[in-house]
Structure 1
Amino acid sequence: MKRNATAIWKGSLKEGAGVLTTQSKTLENTQYSFKSRFEEGVGTNPEELVAAAHSGCFTMQLSAYVTEEGFEIESIETKCIINLVEGTILSSHLTVAAKIAGISNEKFQELVTKAEKNCPISKLLNSEIVSEANLV
């Protein structure tokens, strides 16, 4: 399976702006800019999108592990904070609140750790990056 998204940027870093479109069209010409990334402008930013991807991926992975263990999930809510400092993402912090019938805290923590290590986005955050570029 392959998924894609496209970014189009016009102008300089600080005065320019861009739009993002995802394959599913959930994001379609969604604006982003220097202000939405580093100040308080309208639109999204790459770190917010990484946070959404990591919280969503982790939550699905945790759901799979909890279900495999035979527990019934009422809800799992995960907040992700991406920490960007001086141009480097230093960390992704996941905060989880779950309602799962009959699970012990020990088992829950074990499954959280397993999901944290094995969700595809967790693995991506520590992976090789490949690019190909053409001038048009």
Structure 2
Amino acid sequence: MTQLATFTLADHLFGVEVSRVQEVLRYQPSTKVYLASPAIGGLMNLRGQVVTSVDLRRRLELEPRSDGSEPMNVVVRVDGEVLSLLVDAIGDVVTVSDDLFESPPETLSAKERELIVGAYKLEDRLLLALDIDRAVDVT
């Protein structure tokens, strides 16, 4: 059994291992980083700590947010660093059975398939397991 913290981007449901998530926050203003990768959403101040935000819509080459809504922050730990993933909406923590795990679906784009470890078939939709290490590697 695996526990995943879920969130949505466009019409996809994604999940990351709960153990990698530090906290979930409403949108925090960030400072743009000039000459950085377009996937870098900016730098934000998280209780005195400077945290890099990665815009997962840009990272996965999805359409930009068009409704003017602000993203949410999923603060994760990667190699001892704290980073924020900008997502559309926060979901629940779900426990999934490892026997529901499958390789990434062929219907995903090449960029999505590159950043997805696999998928879990839930009763009502597909849960895509995000590879956090690859997702935040925007160099």
Calculate the TM-score normalised by the size of structure 1.
0.22
Considering fraction of residues, name the structure with more helix.
1
The structure with more radius of gyration: 1
Calculate the TM-score normalised by the size of structure 2.
0.22
